Amino acid sequence: MNKDGHVLNAVLLSIGLGYVLEPAGDFTTFQTIAEVTIPVTLGALFPDVDTAFGRHRKTLHNLGVLGIFLAYPIVFGNLRFVWIGVLTHYVLDLLGSKRGLALLYPYEKEYSVPFGVSTSSNYANAATLAITLFELVIAAVVVYYAPLYLPQPVVEGAATVLG
Ligand SMILES: [Zn+2]
């Protein structure tokens, strides 16, 4: 997926997340959208830095990198929400293009799914929209149902990372 696809995905996902986290549609919703849009968009741009440094779809497209971004809010108390951008970048690359990702890099194998739209396709934007919607449904299910099934300390720990 190209940069414009990743930015479109990140911005729409952030707007949706604003409504998932603060559904009232009032000031708190727009405050949440403002709070998450920039970190999520920056995270969504980050993995493709490996087009210049390292090897594309390998060096910065793996679970270790995602783990580092997940650790920052816990260890240092900063970079909240950036991991969401990194994760959505991987999802969009996996579902929105034919080539796979070396998710277990430095193990070289690139993992892919048996479907996907080529980055240059006319349907790339439609695919991006569909994938964003799919991610928002998952986010809503996690936000609304996880607290019902998980122990309180786990929910509070997750809330620290998610905000
Ligand atoms: Zn990428």
pLDDT in tens, the chain (163 residues): 789 999 999 999 999 999 999 999 999 999 999 999 999 999 999 999 999 999 999 999 999 999 999 999 999 999 999 999 999 999 999 988 888 999 999 999 999 988 777 766 778 888 899 999 999 999 999 999 988 888 888 888 777 766 5
CA of 85 to the centre of ligand 1 (A): 11
**For residue 81, what are the contacts with CB-CB under 8 A and spacing of at least 6?**
35, 36, 39, 40, 43, 162, 163
Range(s) of the domain holding residue 104: 3-162
CA of 101 to the centre of ligand 1 (A): 8
CA of 78 to the centre of ligand 1 (A): 23
CA of 139 to the centre of ligand 1 (A): 21
Identify the CA nearest to 91 among candidates 116, 59, 68, 120: 116
State the total domains in the chain. 1
Contact 95, 116 (CB under 8 A): yes
Contact 66, 161 (CB under 8 A): no
CA of 47 to the centre of ligand 1 (A): 6
Single pTM value for the model: 0.92
CA of 150 to the centre of ligand 1 (A): 32
